[in-house]
Structure 1
Amino acid sequence: MHKVFNRPLLATAVTTALVTGTFVSSSAAAEVSANIGFTSNYLFRGVTQTDDQAAVQGGVDYAHEGGFYAGTWASNVDYGADSRGYEVDGYFGLAGGIGDSGVGFDVGYIYYAYPSLDDSDVGEVYGGLDFMGAHAMVNLVTNADDNSAEDSLSYELGYGLGLTGDMSLDGTVGYVDPDEGDGDYTWWSVGLTRATELGDFTLAYTQNDIDDGNADDPRVSVAFGMSF
């Protein structure tokens, strides 16, 4: 999933922050934060969720220094005629480090709700590891309004590289494997982010290998996100 604020990937970011001690201060047991973002195209696992149009997104997060976190996130969506509305995600999990190895872990559950769309809600459990800028994650659909989506799997590998100053480069490759049908596909994305005092600006290239119309066209998106 590639969002301005990506729920499963944010969980990975929480893992890293907990390991490095940057998410919560040593004098606080917990922290509540909020975020808001704008993107020219909401892309989730390499596929547009807004018919290649812009999206406004934001959420609220809670993180305890013991590793537990929870939050909610929302965005507008557009899947074509009579399928426009909004998405509201709720999630919780546990993130931390594995001893002194430098390896971070993250396990949790996320529920994607679409109040304005029929039979579209999906719930997933996920687990991930990160080490020295690299991360791996697996998501499994455990419940869905459309029963055919249950037991579907998504895999993801990524790496983030800090460049000079406030610039970073991130690359991700993912594979979506539905439990039913032959709709499996691979997607990939590369993004360049610049951090500023105001927020983060990202320029990203995303593509997939779905053989259906223009679904596999390369897409370039720009995004801005800030937290407070």
Structure 2
Amino acid sequence: MKKSYAAIACALAMTALPTAQAEITANIGVTSNYLWRGTSQTDDGPAISGGIDYAHENGFYLGTWASNIDWGTTAVELDIYGGYANELDGGLGYDVGVISYIYPSDDYEDSNFTELYLNLSYGPVSGGIAYTVAADRSDHGDLYYWASAGFEPAESWNISATVGHYDFEDNLDYSHGQVDVTKSAGEFGDFTFTISQAEENPFDDDDLKVVVSWSKSF
């Protein structure tokens, strides 16, 4: 997903902090390969995505995000999420919420699931945990946790490294890592170059993946 964690977003700084006032924002993105927790959701093919977010000054937020996917046949992923994000006086940011991953296609009607998540950030370091509380295809109990660190080597540039581990109830565990280099082009959006690799991934190959992406928020 786009949050990041959100991947999304992952991908995302993954912690959303409250805005100065209530606002609605939108985002669009294009990528050569939709990676989520180290696994391609598009059979190593391209994806187009978009979403809408509402954030209140008190820290509460709601959002939705969608992308094409390909797990053998082309379909759509729809994410709906909400939570609360804020920062303590000492600079520790936190983000707690719930997200549902919905796959409307008949081919994937049993793939829907819902997670509770907690993300923390302090300076350039962040991390989080997500726990599956409901799933159509299997019992709840899957656990995903991750850690990330980033820095800005120059104005409008950001480099980050992320490692994560997926702990499944049915012993399909795997780990992954990735490095992202992002260039902000102002009104022209953000361009990201990603190198990612998973270890013993039961859902994808273990080959090194190189991805280029573009995104823009409004």
TM value normalised by structure 1 = 0.88
- Cα distance change on mapping 1:69 and 1:213 into 2, 3 Å: closer
**When you count helix as a share of all residues, which structure comes out higher?**
1
Tell me, yes or no, if the aligned pair for 2:191 and 2:213 is still in contact at 8 Å. Answer: yes
Q: CA deviation at 1:12?
A: 3.1
CA contact (8 A) 2:3 2:9 kept: no
One of 142, 145, 151 as aligned partner of 1:152: 142
Q: What is the root-mean-square deviation of aligned Cα atoms in Å?
A: 1.9
Query: Paired residue for 1:21?
Result: none
Alignment of 1:65-104 (within 5 A): 65-80=57-72, 83-98=73-88, 100-104=89-93
Provide the secondary structure at the position in 2 that maps to 1:123.
Answer: strand
- Cα distance in 1 between the residues matched to 2:51 and 2:150: 23
Q: Residue 3 of structure 2 contacts residue 14 of structure 2 at CA under 8 Å; is this kept in 1? A: no
2:98 — aligned with what? Answer: 109
Give the Cα–Cα distance (whole angstroms) in 2 for the partners of residues 96 and 194 of structure 1. 26
Percent identity, aligned pairs only, is 40
Aligned mates of 1:225, 1:137 — CA distance in 2: 23
Q: Which residue of structure 2 aligns with residue 184 of structure 1?
A: 173
Question: What's the secondary structure of 2:14's corresponding residue?
Answer: helix
- In 2, distance between residues paired with 1:11 and 1:163? 17
What is the distance in 1 between the residues matched to 2:138 and 2:201? 24
Are 1:12 and 2:4 an aligned pair? Answer: no
Contact 2:120 2:127 in 1 (8 A): yes
Q: What is the identity, as a one-letter code, of the residue corresponding to 1:75?
A: S
Shift of residue 11, structure 1, vs aligned partner:
7.5
Corresponding pairs, count: 213
